[in-house]
A and B are shown apart, each in its own frame.
Chain A
Amino acid sequence: MIDKDFMQDLEDEEEQQIVEAKQQIEDEPTCSLLKDSKFLQHYQRVQEVSAYQIQDETIDASHEEYHLILRSNEYSTIIDQEILNIHKQLKDVYHKKFPELEKIIINPIEYVKIVQLIRNAIDLQAIDFSKLLSGQQVVAVNIAAKQSLVGQLSEEDIALVDQLCHKIETLDTYNQKIICYIESRMKYIAPNVSALIGTQLASKLMAAAGGIEKLANMPAGNIQVMGSVKKNMLGMSRAMHNRNTGYFGTLEIVQKASGKLQNQIVRMLATNVAKAARVDNMKTCPKGNVGEDLRIKMMKRYQKIQEPPPAKLEKPLPIPDENKKRRRGGKRFRKQKERLAMTEVRKYANRLKFGLEAEDEIKDTGIGLGMLSQGIGKVKLHIKKDKPIGLSKKLQQRLAQTKTQSGGGTGGLTSSIAFTPTQGIELINPEPGYLSKVPDQYFNRESGFRTVLRKEREFGRQY
C-alpha cells in the first residue's frame, strides 16, 4: 500500500516538471526535450512497461501505471508541438534552397524525409521519391523543382538542416512508441470509448485531445472532425473529397458506407464517443458496459436507417355518394344566414300595389322600387333628391359654391378674378405708418423710432 500523501507529492512534483519542461521549450526554441532527463527517464520506463501485461482489471489512481499513462499523454502533445516548432525552423532554412516544397508537402515527417533525400542536390532526376510519396506529389515536386530549385546551401546550413531533420526523426520515433504504449493500455484508461470504437482509434482521439478530461469536455461536433488532415490538393478536383474524414474515416464501418450514410454514421459515432468519454472521465463504469450498450443501440439504429422506405399504398377511390349537407345551428350561422336572407326592403321592392303604377325604374328592365316608392305599407322610403347623400354639411356647402362659380371646366389655370376698368386690385401695405399723408422725411415726427411712436400712442405725448 502506497501512502496517499506520498503519491500526492510525487504527482505534484511531476506536474511541476511538466510545467518546467513546457517553459523550457517556450524559452529555447531549438529542442531541449531530447536533452531533458525527465523525459528520457519517462521514455525508458515506458519501454520497460510496454513489455508487461496488466493484471488488474482497472487502473485507478493507486496503480503505478496510471501516472505513467497520464504523463505519456501529456508528453505526446508536447512532442507534437516540438515537432511543429522544429519543422518551422527547418522550413525557414530550407526555404533558400527549395521554397515550394513546403507548400506541396505539408506533413512534417514527410517533409523531413524528402529533405533528407534531396539535401543539397540540384537535379532531382536521380532521386526516386516513389517509395515515400504518391504519384501526384512526385510529379508536383519535380515540376516545382525545375522552377524553384535554386542555388546551393552553405556548409553551415546543410549541417543545421541535418541536425534538425535528425531531431524530428528521433522525436517522431519516441512519439510512435509512446502512442503504442497508450494504445495498449487504452482499455483500462477509457474502457467505454474503447468498447465503442476500438483501442487504436480511442488512443488517437485521446492523444489528439490531450487527455481523457479534455476529450470529455469536447462537444461531439469537434470530436467528429478531429484528425482531418490539411492536404494540398495539387490542382485536383475537390468534388469527391469528403470533408468529414477525420480519425473516424479510418473505421471499417465508415469506409463501407456510402455518401450520406457515411456522414450519418460518423455523426452517430461522434455523439456516442462524447457520451462514453464523459462516462470514462467520471469513471462510473470501469468495465465498459456503457460503451457496449451504446454500440449495440447505434448499430440497431444504423440498420434501421438503411432500410428502404415502406411501399406505396394505392388507395381506392371513395364511393361517389352525395353526402347530405350537415346543417349547423347556433348564433354564428344564424348571423351568416341573416346576411343573405331576404329583407323587408327587398320584399317591398319586388311587389306592386294593385291598381297603382310603378314610378322609378331602371330603363326598360322593370327593376324598380316597387311598393317602396308608392308609399304604402310598413316600409316607407324618403328619397331626398336635391341633397346628395353621404356628405357632411361642410362638403355640401363647398360643392354648392363650386357649382355657382366656375363650371369646373377651366381647371386650375384661370382665376375667378377679372380685371376691368372699374374693378381692379389694390395692394395695401400692412405697416401702420403707410396710411398717413405726411411725406417721409428723416426727422419727421411720424417717421421716428417705432418703439417711441408706439409708446407715444399708448401713453400720450409725453415724449
Chain B
Amino acid sequence: MSYLLPHLNNGWEVDQAILDEEEKLVIIRFGHDWDPQCMQMDEILYKSAEKIKKFAVVYLVDITKVPDFNTMYELYDPVTVMFFYRNKHMMIDLGTGNNNKINWAMNDKQEFIDIVEIIYRGARKGKGLVVAPKDYSTKYKY
C-alpha cells in the first residue's frame, strides 16, 4: 500500500509539504516501507486517504533517507504518525502519555478517521491540543 501513497524524499520536500497546505491537515508517517508495523499503518492510511481527502492529505517519509527529523521529533519507534495544520504541530491526548504522535500501528480504519476528524475540528478552532475519542492507554491488553 505504501507504493500508492506519496513519498517525501528529502527534508526540503517535507518542509514544503507542511508549509504549502493551508486548508487541509497534513498527516506524515515516519518509518520504513518494509517494516511490518509500517505496512499495517500504511494500509490504514491508504484506505482512509480516499475518504478524508477533502480535509487531510497523507505523506510517507523514510527515516533512513530523511534523517533530519529523527532527533527533532524523537522518531525512535518503528512507525510514527504526526499531524500538522498550517505549519503548526497538532497534539492529541491519546491516553498513552505521548501527545505528540501516534507511535503504534492502528488496525481500524474508522478509528483513524475519527481521530483525524477530531484533530481537524480542533485545528480549525485554533486549539493546539485535542482529546482523542478513544483511550489507548490499554492498547496492549487486547
A residues bordering B, Cβ < 8 Å?
A: 314, 316-322
- Chain A CB within 10 Å, residue with most, of B51, B53, B54, B113: B54
| A319: chain B residues within 8 A (beta carbon) | 54-55, 120
CB B58 to nearest CB in A, in angstroms, measures 13
Q: Cα distance A320–B117 when bound, in Å?
A: 7
**Cβ-defined contact, A316 with B54, below 8 A:** yes
Tell which of B51, B55, B117, B124 touches A314, judged by Cβ atoms closer than 8 Å.
Answer: B51
* CA A314 to CA B48, docked complex, whole Å: 11
Question: Least Cβ distance of A306 to chain B in Å?
Answer: 31
Report yes or no: B54 in contact with A317, Cβ–Cβ below 8 A: yes
User: What CA separation (Å) do A322 and B122 show in the bound complex?
Assistant: 11
Interface residue from A317, A321, A322 paired with B51 (Cβ < 8 Å): A317
With beta carbons under 8 angstroms apart, the residue of B50, B117, B120, B124 that contacts A316 is: B50
- CB neighbours of A322 from chain B (8 A): 121, 124
Question: Chain A nearest CB: distance from B69 CB in Å?
Answer: 28
Please name 24 pairs of A and B residues whose Cβ atoms are closer than 8 Å in the assembled complex, sorted by A.
Answer: A314-B50, A314-B51, A316-B50, A316-B51, A316-B52, A316-B53, A316-B54, A317-B51, A317-B52, A317-B54, A317-B55, A317-B113, A317-B117, A318-B54, A319-B54, A319-B55, A319-B120, A320-B55, A320-B117, A320-B120, A320-B121, A321-B124, A322-B121, A322-B124
- Of chain A, the residue at the smallest CB distance from B124 is A321
- Note all chain A residues with C-beta closer than 8 A to B124: 321-322
Can you name the residue of chain A whose Cβ is closest to the Cβ of B118?
Answer: A320
**What mask results when residues 109 to 129 of chain B are scored 1 for a CB within 8 Å of chain A, else 0?**
000010001001100100000
Known A314-B50, A317-B51, A322-B121; 12 more pairs at CB < 8 Å: A314-B51, A316-B50, A316-B51, A316-B53, A316-B54, A317-B52, A318-B54, A319-B54, A319-B55, A319-B120, A320-B117, A320-B121
The 10 closest A-B pairs by CB, nearest first: A319-B55, A320-B117, A317-B51, A316-B53, A319-B54, A316-B54, A316-B51, A320-B121, A320-B120, A317-B52
Residue numbers in B under 8 Å from A316 (CB-CB): 50-54
Chain A residues with CB under 8 Å of B117's CB are: 317, 320
Q: Residues of B at under 8 Å CB distance from A?
A: 50-55, 113, 117, 120-121, 124
Whole-angstrom distance between the alpha carbons of A233 and B124 in the complex?
74
Q: In the complex, A314→B55 CA distance in Å? A: 16
Given the complex of chains A and B, what is the CA–CA distance between A247 and B51 in angstroms? Answer: 54
B36–chain A nearest beta-carbon distance, Å? 27
What separation, in Å, do the CA atoms of A322 and B52 have in the docked complex?
Answer: 16
Q: For residue B138, give the distance in angstroms from its CB to the closest CB of chain A.
A: 27
- CB closest residue in chain B, given A315: B51
Q: For the complex, what is the distance from the CA of A346 to the CA of B54, rounded to whole Å?
A: 48
Contacts of A317 in B (CB 8 A): 51-52, 54-55, 113, 117
Chain B: which residue is nearest A314 at the CB level?
A: B50
Which residues of chain B are within 8 angstroms of A320 by Cβ–Cβ distance? Answer: 55, 117, 120-121
Residue numbers in A under 8 Å from B55 (CB-CB): 317, 319-320
* Cα separation A78 to B117 with both chains bound (whole Å): 82
Question: Which among A318, A320, A321 has the highest number of chain B CB atoms within 10 Å?
Answer: A320
A321 to B113, CA, bound (A): 15
CA distance A201 to B88 in the complex (A): 79
Report how far A329 CA is from B103 CA in the complex, Å. 51
Chain B, residue nearest A322 (CB): B121
Report the minimum CB–CB distance from A322 to chain B (whole Å).
7
Closest residue of A by beta carbon distance from B120: A320
Distance in Å from the Cβ of A246 to the closest Cβ of chain B?
51
Tell me, rounded to whole Å, the shortest Cβ–Cβ distance linking A409 to chain B: 60
* Complex interface: chain A residues within 8 A of B120 (CB): 319-320
Alpha-carbon distance between A320 and B25 when the two chains are bound, in angstroms: 12
For B53, list chain A residues within 8 Å (CB).
Answer: 316
CA distance A227 to B1 in the complex (A): 60
A320 to B133, CA, bound (A): 15
Residues of A within 8 A of B50 (CB): 314, 316
Max count, chain B CB within 10 A of own CB: residue among A314, A317, A318, A321: A317
Q: How far, in angstroms, from A321 to B24 measured CA to CA in the complex?
A: 12
CB-CB under 8 A from A314, the residues of chain B are 50-51
Name the distance in Å between B24's Cβ and chain A's nearest Cβ. 9
| Bound: A320/B130 CA distance, A | 15
Q: Complex: how many Å from CA A320 to CA B51?
A: 12
Q: How many Å from the CB of A35 to the closest CB on chain B?
A: 85
Name which residue of chain B comes closest to A318, CB basis. Answer: B54
Cα-based distance from A317 to B112 in the complex (angstroms)? 13
In the complex, A321→B55 CA distance in Å? 10
Among residues of A, the one whose C-beta sits closest to the C-beta of B113 is A317
Give bound CA distance, A334 to B54, whole Å: 38
CB distance from A191 to the nearest CB of B (A): 57
Task: Kindly state the separation between the CA atoms of A321 and B117 in the bound complex, as whole angstroms.
Answer: 10
Nearest-Cβ distance from residue A383 to partner chain B, whole angstroms: 51
Complex CA gap A116/B124 in Å reads: 96
- On chain B, the residues within 8 Å of A321 by CB distance are 124
Q: A318 to chain B: which residues have CB within 8 Å?
A: 54
Q: How far is the CA of A317 from the CA of B54 in the complex (A)?
A: 7
Determine the chain A residues whose CB is within 8 A of the CB of B121 once the complex forms: 320, 322
